[in-house]
Amino acid sequence: MAEIFLDTAELKEKAATLHAGDRVLLSGTVYTSRDAAHKRLMSLIESGEELPFELDGGCIYYAGPTPAPDGMPIGSCGPTTSGRMDPYAPTLLDRGLSAMIGKGERDRAVCEAICRNGAVYLCAIGGAGALAAKCVEKCEEIAFFDLGCESVKRIEIKNFPLIVGIDCHGGTIFKV
């Protein structure tokens, strides 16, 4: 199977061309966000406040990178278990989120929201955070600074290897 080279700016329009099991090398801007940051994003949405990044066409990576060692833009940044973000994902997808990166299965509501919104769930390799960090060219902490490694960061990635876990046609690599 060939690898598909994609830029995050293309995800919104190209999600429909992706199918469960496709191998993707993703480049572009991604925002890290885990449990605590997702709770805060939801609070901002509920109160009508501005979010720290644009959801429409955006891509969230469920990761809490460690501090950067000398000479690197980021420390280890492997994916966290995506299911912990399931309570928040449908709302973010309905507000324009194009893609999520993580590991593990998603619940039915998330799968339905992916299909409804023409989005995609991409899976990264768990346990390979040091290797994932090699795909990160730039990292900037942009919100919720008090959360430490779980703060929201804008990262620039290049050829980050991923597998399409759930596509917008209802396809999945997981048992159903």
Domains of the chain, CATH where assigned = 3-166 (3.20.130.10)
Torsion of CA 60, 38, 127, 65, to 10 degrees: 80
Question: For residue 176, what pLDDT is reported?
Answer: 67
Question: For residue 131, what pLDDT is reported?
Answer: 86
Dig out the tokens for 98 from the structure: 């194009």
Cα end-to-end distance, the chain, whole Å:
23
Residues 24-63 pLDDT 10s: 999 999 999 999 999 999 999 999 999 999 999 999 999 9
Is 38 annotated as catalytic? Answer: yes
Question: For residue 79, what pLDDT is reported?
Answer: 95
Dig out the tokens for 36 from the structure: 């605590």
Marked catalytic residue, from 12, 34, 38, 40: 38
Residues 102-143 pLDDT 10s: 999 999 999 999 999 999 999 998 878 888 999 999 999 999
2, 106 contact by CB (below 8 A): no
Task: Tell how many helices (H) and how many strands (E) occur in the chain.
Answer: 5, 7
HSE value, Cβ hemisphere, 13 Å, CA-based, for 121? 32
Global pTM value: 0.96
Mean pLDDT of 14-20: 97
